[in-house]
Structure 1
């Protein structure tokens, strides 16, 4: 892996500035489209993690941040949104180079992110505490206060978007944070922290530490200074880090694996179903937790669907993601490429599964140094096959046949995961009926992969706990205190009048 120029070397971002790590070791950041060295980052030690958390704790309790009014904080969060928006072009280019997602996809995704800050700035102004009607002559009200330091471990597939889903409510609520981005894709997170600091975000409110999950990530998850732990990643990583954070009774939001079922009924236009299948299955090179990886298609349109999806997959333009004409870039690393190719081998070994598109590395010599995999489709997949049950996290879609609505629902719910599901039908009654019975946290009817700052996002079962986005996420950054005020001036002496007291509580 070579680079004609010396790569940029990045330190950690703590207390509003870049600082050197205590550990001399550097980690390589590779351009997944070319295999070239893009940059080097620090590998934060336990001492570095402690320094970052202490910086966030100091900022949380500082007069400048803790005494800031909701309206002043909202104005600052809106200013951060404006700064983000003014630097979008730089972010498009940097994220595309770093994670290999096509430039058009990256632009379409990142351009929405400033609105996450604006939405949460609105919640900061609009939030109200409650007055609760209770029995007796009492006034009962609640007071909410920010919980403290939020530790956030983000993945490689959507580095900025997933980080922003947590960062926006964290800052708007008055909390502070330490973010550990994936070692594969840290560059846009480091850059955003620098931009926000220059825009006036107080030092220590947004710290970034870089390093490996088993070392730096572990040290962050188990740090007793965290009030909340947020992770987007694999289910096993969620179990490990969730247990670590849980030992300190930290609040948690874990968005983990997925194996999204898509139910295609025979009353829906097949061409549109195929277009959505390609979008849901291959966007981001299939490296999304809500990838539409299980297409479950009704008998009458099954054969036509398979034929059209195979043709669609073969038509997708693969290449360097910096080229605006390219529709599919590489997966993020050699390790991820091997994982996808291993699942293709597994699919080929499964009894009766039929490969109808893709299944190999592109033959174009210009792509050989990158981590490319062709869009892959397996047909005639049954629920006991590994490629039906296990998350691949690549451009890999399986197609399974069903006859009745009940059978389709049973196939869709036959999974340890429960993040998202999708339905393709023109029968509005069936759409709502099936949506209610899908065992997952998100459902799209005649669409896929739609996200809004106001719409709660998260899963059940092995797909995690808690919700991002919406008022649900914002509210999870507060502790609630109940205040009970007695409004009766009558004398009280329990021990004088015990026998006549009406109630103890």
Structure 2
């Protein structure tokens, strides 16, 4: 698909699954519309894959994993190939970020900034692969004990609509660097850049069958993939309930799992921190990606002495955000992904009113000239929010945040931890001791001190409780893509016959 800077009209393209190094027709299931969320226009049609389609992709992946072209490739050759894929990604950045802007509606400046980081994920894991060491373990007696690690096999990966390429690449980079293979089920809303990347990587030399894509609905194609008997690991980013369903299915085949699920990020703002700076971080954390991130700054917990000033300045900052055409470089906030998601966000505005919170700004659909059928929502702030309110407890997944006052550090932590989620948290303070104390006490897998939404391929990423299990990125993710084999070698020449000398034996193990 050739994507101009600002598409005037787009031909509706028909796509198939990507299996064994090429796009192939699906096996006769229904076709699904893919829409541009800024206009509501259909830009592509994709299949809702059948069980036969899933089987075909799995067989291709298994053949690649066991074949010489990929399975027989040595570590250094594989690392060189992964670095070459990073170069190919970088060479195609312009087409990729424009296609992603078209497909998921993020402003082009946001999309460019995010996608430009992604080649580093492949380069990082290529480096980890080259530096990998297995262990020699000191054991009692005349024995040599060492470990061997073998790639885990087929990784089934279900990716979401909010960061289609970024979340894919967090998994794909480590899959390729470890010698695993993958079958990816992208969101039915945003499959286009995933298909494009598979084409780019194949042209850059990735063997067929290593990176396969099956398209379709999460509740059908995604479910069939997660419960397929031949998967060795499930990676899923999505809602908590989807994680429970997919995780239960994968557990039946004893597949390893890494899941990043829902979030309700608390941001604790102490009164020793500059209010203007806190407000700038608040707007970034709450409204980047139209708030459609699991780490969205959705609960601002602000010390009472600066609470009124914070709310007033956040109101002014939010009202100044420019909503509009994602391809306009001046646009700062694009649409949410779908009409369904727009209506969900607006329903939480109603809940806020019903539960007694104070609407500061937003809470309605935004009307954008020339984009009347787009799924735009005004960035929304509610104040005076109590911890028992739905907008404090439940994930909204849109440009929506709440503000709650607190008295002291203990009160801030009580409010922050009053949630079933534990993905990310943020702290705003100039007190170094307090920053580390609160970071240790808050329930979260990721904590930002005086920042927000930062990640690095070397830094582990994941949550606790209803926010999921396992970690992406870092050596934690790399190690989780191997099976570990322990090898015990007797280095002595002592004769052994248990059944002749049973009475004289002093130990069994």
Instruction: Tell me if both proteins adopt one fold, taking TM over 0.5 as the criterion.
Output: yes
Cα deviations across residues 391-424 of structure 1 (Å, max 9, x unaligned)?
A: 0000000000000100100000000000000000
Q: Which residue of 1 aligns with 2:165?
A: 160
1:17-416 equivalent positions in 2, closer than 5 A:
17-351=22-356, 353-416=357-420
Cα deviations across residues 197-235 of structure 1 (Å, max 9, x unaligned)?
A: 111100000001110011110110000110000100000
- TM-score if structure 1 supplies the norm length? 0.98
d(CA) in 2 for partners of 1:36, 1:376: 26
d(CA) in 2 for partners of 1:367, 1:277: 27
- Superposed displacement of residue 24, structure 1: 4.7
Cα deviations across residues 114-146 of structure 1 (Å, max 9, x unaligned)?
A: 000000001111111100011111110000000
Contact 1:151 1:229 in 2 (8 A): yes
Contact 2:65 2:71 in 1 (8 A): yes
For 1:451, which of 449, 452, 455 is the aligned residue? 455
Q: Which secondary structure does the structure 1 equivalent of 2:232 belong to?
A: strand
d(CA) in 2 for partners of 1:23, 1:475: 39
**Residue 467 (structure 1) aligned with residue 468 (structure 2):** no
Q: Which runs of 4+ in 1 moved over 4 A?
A: none
Contact 2:498 2:505 in 1 (8 A): yes
Contact 2:240 2:467 in 1 (8 A): yes
Aligned residues: CA RMSD: 0.9
d(CA) in 2 for partners of 1:108, 1:375: 21
Cα deviations across residues 172-198 of structure 1 (Å, max 9, x unaligned)?
A: 100000000000000000000011111
**Residue 480 (structure 1) aligned with residue 472 (structure 2):** no
d(CA) in 1 for partners of 2:47, 2:239: 23
**Residue 499 (structure 1) aligned with residue 476 (structure 2):** no
- Superposed displacement of residue 100, structure 1: 0.4
Q: Which secondary structure does the structure 1 equivalent of 2:187 belong to?
A: coil
d(CA) in 2 for partners of 1:311, 1:123: 46
User: Which one is further off, 327-336 or 39-48?
Assistant: 39-48
- TM-score if structure 2 supplies the norm length? 0.98
d(CA) in 2 for partners of 1:289, 1:382: 21
Q: Unaligned stretches of 5+ in structure 1?
A: none
User: Which one is further off, 365-374 or 56-65?
Assistant: 365-374
Against the structure 1 CA distance between its residues 490 and 4, is the aligned structure 2 distance closer, same or farther, given a 3 Å change threshold?
Answer: closer
d(CA) in 1 for partners of 2:211, 2:377: 36
d(CA) in 2 for partners of 1:269, 1:415: 27
Contact 1:359 1:376 in 2 (8 A): yes
Contact 1:311 1:357 in 2 (8 A): no
- Superposed displacement of residue 5, structure 1: 5.3
- Superposed displacement of residue 493, structure 1: 1.4
Q: Unaligned stretches of 5+ in structure 2?
A: 1-7
Q: Which secondary structure does the structure 2 equivalent of 1:129 belong to?
A: coil
Q: Which secondary structure does the structure 2 equivalent of 1:366 belong to?
A: coil
d(CA) in 2 for partners of 1:179, 1:223: 13
- Superposed displacement of residue 40, structure 1: 1.0
